[in-house]
Structures are given as structure tokens and as C-alpha cells.
Structure 1
Amino acid sequence: MRLKAVFHAMSFVAGLVALTTLAQAHGPTPQKIDEAIDIKADPKAVWAIAGDFAGISKWNSELKASEGSNEKRVITFKNGEQLEEEVDEYNPQGMTYSYRMLNPNLKAAPASSYSATLVVTPGGDGGSHVEWYGRFYRGDTGNEPPDELNDEAGREALTKLFKAGLDGLKAKAEGHS
């Protein structure tokens, strides 16, 4: 009977070790960001600015330049680093587009991949509501990423990019820039 109890105890400990190992060995999980802003301007006027996919640097203070088309763009950050992004869906009637990063550049953004969507909808009092949301994986997809390439670093960098963009879009659409 004692041997059976020892066996059960050992099995329990082995199970805990296996669970702990599995928990530590899982890869990165997708992270989400979701930012939104209300703008005191007609949605069509806001879309006229935001809908120019390649013109993002005209309203996003985190970017030094952007070039391309409504299918692909190259964005240049203030530090000179670049990312190439490609549109997955562009719907001017619905005032929305979805896009994704093509090749990671961890000096531009600490993410190994991301996809995002920007949507302009009517808001209150004839204004607009703009939502910009995305999913990404951290820059280092290993089990123990360095701080500058972990989930938090990716979340912080992309949130900063989205918030700066929305603030700039608001300023431009409301005539403050």
C-alpha cells in the first residue's frame, strides 16, 4: 500500500513538472491593440485624409516619410528605419482598410508580424469615430525574449504609433495642423 502511495505521489510530481515545462515552452501569443478617437469632422472628410494609405506620414508624427500606393507602402520612422506594409482589403465605400507588415524590421517596430485595420464611421453630432486596431507577435518569438523585443515592448511601440496617428488625424481633420 505504501508503494502505491509513493507511486501516486511521484506521478503527481512528474505531472506538475511536465505542466510547468509545457507552460514555459509555449511560444508567443498574439497580442492585441485597439485605439479609437472621436473627431469633429464629417466622416468623408476624415476618410479623405486617412484613406490615403501611402500618405500616413502626413498625419502620423511618429513617421518621417511614407510612399507607395493604396496597395503597398513603405513607412519611414523618425529614427530612419523602414517597414513595408501591404493592403489586404481596401474598401473606400465602407471607409476601412486592413493591412499587414511584410518583412519585420525590429529597429522600426519590435514585432515579428502584425496586421491592422483602420475604420472611419459616423460619430455623434455629425462627427466621426475612428478605430485603429491590430494583432501582432512580439519581436523575439523565442521563449525568453529580451525586454526590448517582448510583448510589452511590441504593445508599447504599436500603441504609440496608433495613438500618434489618431491624434494627428484628428488635428488635421479638425484644421489644427
Structure 2
Amino acid sequence: MRLLQSLVLATLLATTASVFAAEPLFVVKSVELNQPADVVWKKVSDFGDLGAWHPAVAKTEIVAGKSSHAGAKRVLTLQDGGKVNETLTAFNAKSKSYSYKITDGVLPVTDYASTVSVHSNGDGKSVVVWESHFLPKAPADEKASSEAIKGVYDGGLNQLKTLFQ
């Protein structure tokens, strides 16, 4: 009987834990650029070359699929040697956006999904929006995970500002 009670209690605790699982964290960053959306899109749209506009990326390698097709897989090698594996989940040249997810890597996040989009913002100007949702990867907490992603986005968006101003 004690064994049965222990199993029931363990099942209830496991079920309760999954009901109260952490809510995803969200990060949205943007930058306004003094260049037309088409010019900016040409720079940021190449899933196979994030290093063209992000200073933390030393190398981008497409390891499966084609760069602008959903299902493409890339490995980012960061300046410090760390690796991040990502899969392109959507690519829409007409709306100037693509989405991807991190499947493995050194960033303190899990269940990470992101979208990069470029929008026209008046005569000869554009806005790049980089947004994501994710969960912290242990042992990181919510603040550390969010700050890491904000830092990644700030690095890339600030570099775009430098390239296009």
C-alpha cells in the first residue's frame, strides 16, 4: 500500500510540475536605419552568412538544405569558439522575414524560436525587428537568459546601424 501511495504522490507531483511549467520569455529589439528595406533585407536575409552583419559570428556554415529554404540547418561559430546550431523554419522574401529555432548551442536558452524582419519606414528608411521566445536553460535563470539574448540582438542591430548609417 505504501508503494502505491508513493507512486500516486510521485505522479501527482510530476503532473503538477508540468502544469506550472515556466512561461516563455520574450525579447523584441529593433533598429531604424537610413536605408530602404530592400537594401537592408539583402544584407540580413542570407541565413548562410550571419557574420555579414553580426560581429559575434566568426563563421556561418549551412550543413543541410539551402540557405533561403525552410529546413536549412546552419552552424554558427562564435568569435570565442562556441557553437550554435539553428534550423530555418520559415522564409518569406515578399514580407522580408525569416524565422528559425536554436536546436543546440552555448546560449543559456532552450525552446528558442526567433523571427528577423525588415519593414519599410518611410522614404528611404527601414526598421529591422528581431524577436524571440524561449525558456532559460539550467543553470541560467530568467534574467540571465533574457540578458544574453538582448546582448546578442544589440550586437547585431548595432552593427547594422554602423553598416547603414
Global fold match (TM > 0.5) = yes
- TM category (shorter chain) comes to 0.7 to 0.9
The match for 1:98 is 99
Indicate the structure with greater strand content.
2
Q: Give the number of the structure whose residues are more often helix, by fraction.
A: 1
Question: Shift of the alpha carbon at 1:102?
Answer: 1.4
TM-score (structure 2 length as normaliser): 0.79
Deviations 1:76-99 (A, max 9, x none): 122211111111110011100011
Distance 2:145 2:107 in 1: 7
Percent identity over paired residues: 27
Match of 1:154 among 145, 151, 154: 145
Between the aligned partners of 1:54 and 1:167, the Cα distance in structure 2 is 20
* Partner of residue 37 from structure 2, selected from 37, 43, 53: 43
Root mean square deviation, CA, Å: 1.7
Gaps of 5+ in 1: 1-21, 141-145
More off after superposition, 28-37 vs 118-127: 118-127
How far is the alpha carbon of 1:27 from its aligned partner? 2.8
Provide Cα deviations, 1:75-132, integer angstroms capped at 9, x if missing partner: 11222111111111100111000110112x3xx2001220000110101332101111
| Residue 166 (structure 1) aligns with | 157
Cα distance between partner residues in 1 of 2:111 and 2:79 = 20
CA distance in 2, matches of 1:99, 1:127: 25
Q: Aligned pair count? A: 142
Secondary structure of the residue aligned to 1:152 is: helix
Structure 1 residue ranges (4+ consecutive) displaced by more than 3 angstroms after TM superposition: none
Q: What is the DSSP-based 3-state SS (H/G/I as helix, E as strand, rest coil) of the residue aligned with 1:49?
A: helix
Amino acid corresponding to residue 76 of structure 2 in structure 1: I
